[in-house]
Structure 1
Amino acid sequence: MGTVVEAANKGVNGSITEKNPTVVFVLGGPGSGKGTQCANIVEHFGYTHLSAGDLLRAEIKSGSENGTMIQNMIKEGKIVPSEVTIKLLQRAMQESGNDKFLIDGFPRNEENRAAFENVTGIEPAFVLFFDCPEEEMERRLLSRNQGREDDNIETIRKRFNVFLESSLPVINYYDGKAKVRKIDAARPVQDIFETVKAIFAPKNEKAD
């Protein structure tokens, strides 16, 4: 029996690639301020913001056969296969009708990265890397702790270590291709956005 992912893949692969979309990967540790800046980029530059985590959660919530499979894998402590996440991203890209995308929190590791390029045939235009010291991320996460279970000090440190181990090889890979735009994310939000604007504005003007 076909899964939602298989169904989503039919006709998606060709058509979204034909649009020759602009894809920007957005990476940074927990508390680096990615979400805030993504919202600003969407507002000012017309990108569609896709969060891999949000798409997986939405699929689980939908109660689809595919969502149940994802939920069971997570419950069993298994990693959801890259292809599953990528198909959800492809479907969301297709349904958005846009051709400019911020993909947030993905790829999480080298295997995700290779699979994304193989499955979609799309290479990111660049990677926006929010570089923030661990102490600053800890401070932000603890100060925003409003009932989020994952915002305690041990969990924060674990999440930070996972980010370092898994995502830094991805950043290094794209750095080797001169595709990383590193942002000092320890500064005030508005200062960070001024830097972000300088990265996006020239491309945006050409596109217009």
Structure 2
Amino acid sequence: MKKLFLVIGSPGSGKTTDAEVISKNNPKEMVHYSTGELLRAEVASGSEKGKLIEDFTSKGNLVPLEIVVETIVEAIANAPKDIVLIDGYPRSVEQMIELDKILRDKDMIELASVIEVEVSEKTACDRVLGRARGADDNVEVFKNRMRVYLEPLKEIQDFYAKKGVLHKINGERSIQEIVADMESYIKSKI
């Protein structure tokens, strides 16, 4: 039985770094994926699905919901470890509902928890602008990304809270403290 941990948080919350560090600390038990990496790997594989994904992304279009969810679920099912961390998913109510629908039919995958890394908008903005990795790391783009993250957040939180799988972590601390807290929580669920 695979145990799935979804790690969500605003841009700049540190969710990807946290999940990466935890999976590196536990290489025998855990694997980490990000949605973007999974889609890029599918394109690189040259598969029919990869060609379809590239057809959308090369034109700057969003990959259809069903393809994204199917890619994630396949990655989980084929993961080399039983504990799978995926960061940055779900990003919308539609993605959440679609994943929930698919997981209901999968006996071999259990959603163990949705971990939300909470940071203030100011901290998130400071971190994103501080790392300034590309042209999209500016205040206007940050504000838009934050709005896109916050719009569905309450509904996502309520949905997973009702299922009893939502766990919030204070992301305003040092990376060592956040990782230690999240890692110990994940281990308590496996």
Q: Answer yes or no: is 1:181 the counterpart of 2:164.
A: no
Residue in structure 1 matched with residue 186 of structure 2 by the alignment: 200
More strand by share: 2
TM-score w.r.t. structure 1 length?
Answer: 0.79
Which consecutive residues of structure 2, in runs of 5 or more, have no partner in the other structure? none
Residue in structure 2 matched with residue 152 of structure 1 by the alignment: 138
Q: Answer yes or no: is 1:38 the counterpart of 2:38.
A: no
Q: Answer yes or no: is 1:169 the counterpart of 2:155.
A: yes
Q: Answer yes or no: is 1:25 the counterpart of 2:11.
A: no
What is the distance in 2 between the residues matched to 1:100 and 1:54? 18
When Rg is computed on C-alpha atoms for both structures, the one with the higher figure is: 1
Deviations 1:87-136 (A, max 9, x none): 21232223323221112111111211121122232552111100111111
**How many aligned residue pairs are there?**
184
**Percent sequence identity over aligned pairs:** 33
Q: Answer yes or no: is 1:133 the counterpart of 2:116.
A: no
2:81 aligned counterpart, secondary structure: coil
Which consecutive residues of structure 1, in runs of 5 or more, have no partner in the other structure? 1-19
- The answer to whether the 8 Å contact 1:31/1:137 transfers is yes
1:190 aligned counterpart, secondary structure: helix
- Mean CA deviation greater in 47-56 or 115-124: 115-124
RMSD of aligned residue pairs (Cα, Å):
2.0
Q: How far is the alpha carbon of 1:59 from its aligned partner?
A: 2.5
Q: How far is the alpha carbon of 1:76 from its aligned partner?
A: 5.1
What is the distance in 1 between the residues matched to 2:52 and 2:187? 41
1:23 aligned counterpart, secondary structure: strand
Shift in alpha-carbon separation, 1:81–1:167, aligned structure 2, 3 A: farther
Q: How far is the alpha carbon of 1:157 from its aligned partner?
A: 0.8
More helix by share: 1
Q: How far is the alpha carbon of 1:31 from its aligned partner?
A: 0.7
Shift in alpha-carbon separation, 1:99–1:110, aligned structure 2, 3 A: same
User: Which one-letter code corresponds to 2:72 in the other structure?
Assistant: L
TM-score w.r.t. structure 2 length?
Answer: 0.86
1:124 aligned counterpart, secondary structure: strand
Q: How far is the alpha carbon of 1:24 from its aligned partner?
A: 0.8
